[in-house]
Structure 1
């Protein structure tokens, strides 16, 4: 198990457990007695001026807190409390890196497409090596289009599937909130690659709304929610018809209506994102290699993916290792309605996988909570980055499991690890080189440094080819014996 059980401990009722229960009760009573709590100032739990007076008295007795008040009321707490020692220690130097550097640094701009950028940044490694390129991007907007269209269709399929549930049912309400997020998971991108392939960026370039997705998302969500209500109403009418209608006929009728509604979504998307090539449609790509030699390639998106997208390790033959200390390790999990599949394991296994992949010359797709203890400008992710505890005389005591349980943290961003700094004495990783998708102005020309301590606390996912994964974890993955988590579980968050 992880640091804490995912289920509450049952209260003992049999006589054989009485002694243990009595001992536990004594421990709790002793612990409460050691707290030395005063009687509350408020009998009904409301905030009183007596509370304020007491707290002000405490601050007045602490010169450090008075100094914090003087400085921090007109300063950004992150810049004011940034640790100089951490900034100095977190150098962008790595003694083990993949053997080929890709470029340019990509920029997802004002969109949530990091998972697509991380994936294409991994794929282009092989493409650039095979085609002798020094500057290349795959079309993230190509995958973005097909993902958004499929999510729209899936949302309406779920509306049909759950048309009998009330609108305020937790599942229905959740699905209507998270219907077409820009984000995604590894299994989702594998499905896109295998179904639609990939194309070079010039074949389907960025549009305004692929780089600035909020306006189009707002419009699509409005229409899709309206469409869901139309389908629910039609379902109710068919089922309440005076003449019995078979379930097969009902489903066929609802799907016919859904396709009619999806035409509106397609019209909006193609007008704002452009019309992408179909996966079996031939395109011609003219390009220069790094020696300035002109070349041409012709084929379909699926052919391009199968020919150049990977070498020894296919994305479809890779899987996710997750570190989720709320749940049992060495078990297979999935999130309902999402379809992601992953093996939950100790964080050390994620670290070992990263080192093994980098040594094998393979960049690593990983998911994390990027907003925690990170500096975008400096490109640093370090749990010691900010001196919050010293400045405010507090302790930040949440564990990784606690953060997941209380909505404090989840997987918010996907990036690529392309290097590590290994301790010369132990061989253990001390820091990691991270390729981000926020442009060259973020971090060290687009690259971030992540400390090992930050990895332990805020990295949740590492994607590893089966051939390079621990055999026991591959066995767990291939067993197919999945524990299903609810759709709103934090492991279902989309990076």
Structure 2
């Protein structure tokens, strides 16, 4: 009996090693840029904050400042208030919800700064996970009611009441906090980390706008009407590659609705037989087949066993039930067809492309 158990144990270990070896051999990582551990956005629609926070954490590492875990919910909370103000300014004719874009984080940093996760988790006492369902419902009801009955009194009181809802679900914001023996405000912490939002550019690629101009991209989550630089898709991919080869990571926004986007297996692929990517992108964007679904963080380049290039991409859905512990590999055809936009450091963009861009 003992011998049989030993044989089964040895067989189990062999199979586990074989599986691990097979998994490792599927992709050969060519470039791996440092990133913080994978996180989990849980029951929220805040991928935009998780992806951009992860991107900034890698920027902080690149700058030699060390590893810092940034508070995603600080950005979420501050952005909610700005969305509410925009919604009321447009008399309710503006998007209000959980979704957002990478520039929302940059806009928060510009005005309010950065806060570490240790000082603001966005999880009040006795709350174990992020779950924004009830908060979202209450905020939508409140801002709609405020808009419909807007008057002088509401104009004076609504912001305080809005913040009280956020306090209940996310916790109150500290004005100052201590890190490694130093006291900072959020703006002071930003200065210490040497993060300047003006160092970062967003790019997109659609043919219904002129190339090399700064455009208001027509996606619902661009509620702030920020401008993206429109470039040919070939050059957008060139910017991604240039960034990674120069040691910069990329914040990626795109369509993840395809069945071939599989978090469990850690792969996102498409048929590489698309003859005309600009036309295919435009057609699927206008027909709403290509949608603005999800933001992630590209941290490297890999090759599969056939020598095909893939992008090593950090997701924000945790490490469970994921072949590559929260990472996945996106093929070049997938990125060419399904990318909505990217955010990169301006120094990572090839000069030949920068020379063509319309100056603001």
Fold shared, TM-score > 0.5 on shorter chain = yes
Other-structure match for 2:202: 320
Other-structure match for 1:468: 348
Asked if the contact 1:106/1:438 (under 8 Å) is kept, the reply is yes
Distance across 2 between alignment mates of 1:107 and 1:410:
22
Q: Please list, as runs of the form range in 1=range in 2, the aligned pairs for 1:305-316 lying within 5 A after superposition.
A: 305-308=190-193, 310=195, 314-316=196-198
Other-structure match for 1:82: none
Pair 309,401 (structure 1): closer, same or farther in 2 beyond 3 Å: same
Pair 400,478 (structure 1): closer, same or farther in 2 beyond 3 Å: closer
Q: CA RMSD in A?
A: 3.0
Q: Please list, as runs of the form range in 1=range in 2, the aligned pairs for 1:31-46 lying within 5 A after superposition.
A: none
Distance across 2 between alignment mates of 1:409 and 1:198:
32
Other-structure match for 1:339: 225
1:379 aligns with 2:298: no
Distance across 1 between alignment mates of 2:345 and 2:121:
30
Asked if the contact 1:355/1:429 (under 8 Å) is kept, the reply is no
2:159 to 258, 262, 267: 262
Asked if the contact 1:90/1:380 (under 8 Å) is kept, the reply is no
Q: Please list, as runs of the form range in 1=range in 2, the aligned pairs for 1:386-425 lying within 5 A after superposition.
A: 399-421=280-302
Cα-to-partner distance string for 1:257-315 (whole Å, 9 max, x where unaligned): 323122221111111110112xxx32113xxxxxxxxx4332111111121154xxx43
Distance across 1 between alignment mates of 2:202 and 2:214:
10
2:117 to 177, 191, 201: 201
- Which 4+ stretches in 1 moved above 4 angstroms? 87-90, 475-478
Pair 384,182 (structure 1): closer, same or farther in 2 beyond 3 Å: same
Other-structure match for 1:367: 253
Pair 408,117 (structure 1): closer, same or farther in 2 beyond 3 Å: same
Q: Please list, as runs of the form range in 1=range in 2, the aligned pairs for 1:167-316 lying within 5 A after superposition.
A: 172=93, 175=94, 178-179=95-96, 181-207=97-123, 208=127, 211-231=130-150, 234=151, 253=152, 257-277=154-174, 281-285=175-179, 295-308=180-193, 310=195, 314-316=196-198
Other-structure match for 1:431: 310
Other-structure match for 1:95: 30
Asked if the contact 1:209/1:215 (under 8 Å) is kept, the reply is no
Asked if the contact 1:342/1:477 (under 8 Å) is kept, the reply is no
Pair 128,473 (structure 1): closer, same or farther in 2 beyond 3 Å: closer
Give the unaligned 5+ runs of structure 2. Answer: 1-21, 273-278
What count of residue pairs does the alignment treat as equivalent? 323
